[in-house]
Amino acid sequence: MSQVLIESIEAIIVDLPTIRPHKLAMHTMQHQTLVVIRLRCTDGIEGLGESTTIGGLAYGNESPESIKQNIDSYLGPLLVGQDATNINACMQRLDKAAKGNTFAKSGIESALLDAQGKRLGLAVSELLGGRVRDGLEVAWTLASGDTAKDIAEAEQMLDLRRHRIFKLKIGANEVSRDLQHVIAIKRALGERASVRVDVNQGWDESQAIRACQVLGDNGIDLIEQPISRINRAGQVRLNQRSPAPIMADESIESVEDAFSLAADGAASVFALKIAKNGGPRAVLRTAQIAEAAGIALYGGTMLEGAIGTLASAHAFVTLHQLTWGTELFGPLLLTEEIVSEAPVYRDFQLHVPRTPGLGLSLDEERLAFFRRK
């Protein structure tokens, strides 16, 4: 049997509208931009991947434009002609030749896994060791910034049985105003829902000391990245004194970051994101570090579309325990799709397909319409 080689890798920028503006501490999203990866092999099989970030360069070191350029100019050419079935060798080749670029690498690794799954007739979760569940509890982010609107939106999600975990994006406003907003929502929802906050590094340590105490005292279940990722000592101090668990997100930009955070005791929960670790296989290495250190896990998102969301989901369904659930709601934030089979959300969960690969195919007409010219 002849060897299967990688024939081409194409990176396509796609701009999709969202149901509403999505407000973060550092940026307000008016739409979402995806980078779709198409990896074609000499056996005729195509693998799909996705590299998606938030807000251009407002969130991290990679933007959609830089992801596409680096795949087109550097990462793609490194893999053309390589064995498409040896994912390990392909990713090691990229890591040796290119530092960082975890978002771009994640999309490529997802595409390699999708192609191999299709080739073998296996879901990606089976390539990653085997699933232990078929669905994942999914949180919804309330990010309008308007208290009444956020309460109404949460009530609607509960009625639809779509979400019972709600994360509030705060940190852009004055601290006392944000606290009032969060506490009002928690009081309205009561014990019917879990309410968490994501500060996106919006506070300094002095603000966070008081705010974390107030949030914990008012029933907030989880506080995500309250202070700067570079203030490691401050993160350790907050983790020791906050009545609500502290979750690291921006602090984890690599598997090595996860090890360092665990060694320092800087967080009691890790947000897992395939894009920030370099792919589904890489994020499972971070999960193993956390599990060994007794750190709880949460399946995070970069608000990916269907392809990136299911790439994450196939990794997350293999984990022994996801104490804090996931937030793989990215496709639900979009008003348009570029895949033929939209992900299925029901009974508070995302259901992960068992079909070969990621379980998706592109809608070529929609892709052509929304791709950036």
Q: Among candidates 175, 252, 261, which has minimal Cα distance to 210?
A: 175
Active site annotation includes 304: no
Widest pairwise Cα distance in the chain = 67
Cα 147 to Cα 22: distance, rounded to the nearest angstrom? 14
Joined tokens for residue 255 = 């598997």
CA-closest candidate to residue 244, choices 220, 271, 269: 220
Q: 371 in the Ramachandran plot: left (φ > 0), alpha (ψ -120 to 50) or beta?
A: beta
Mark whether 62 is an active-site residue: no
Nearest-angstrom CA–CA distance, 372 and 51 = 15
Q: Which of 338, 331, 341, 336 is nearest to 368 (CA)?
A: 338
* Residue 218 burial class via C-beta count within 10 angstroms: exposed 0-12, middle 13-18, buried 19 and up: middle
Alpha carbons 90 and 104: distance in angstroms, whole number: 14
Instruction: List b or e across 95-105, with b for residues whose CB sees 16 or more CB atoms inside 10 angstroms.
Output: eeeeeebbbbb
CA distance 161 to 365: 32
Q: How many helices (H) and strands (E) does the chain have?
A: 15, 13
CA–CA separation, 314 vs 134, rounded Å?
Answer: 9
Q: Give CA separation, 157 vs 18, 92, 140, 346, in Å.
A: 17, 42, 8, 11
Catalytic residue, candidates 68, 169, 273, 276:
169
Q: Which residues are catalytic?
A: 169, 327
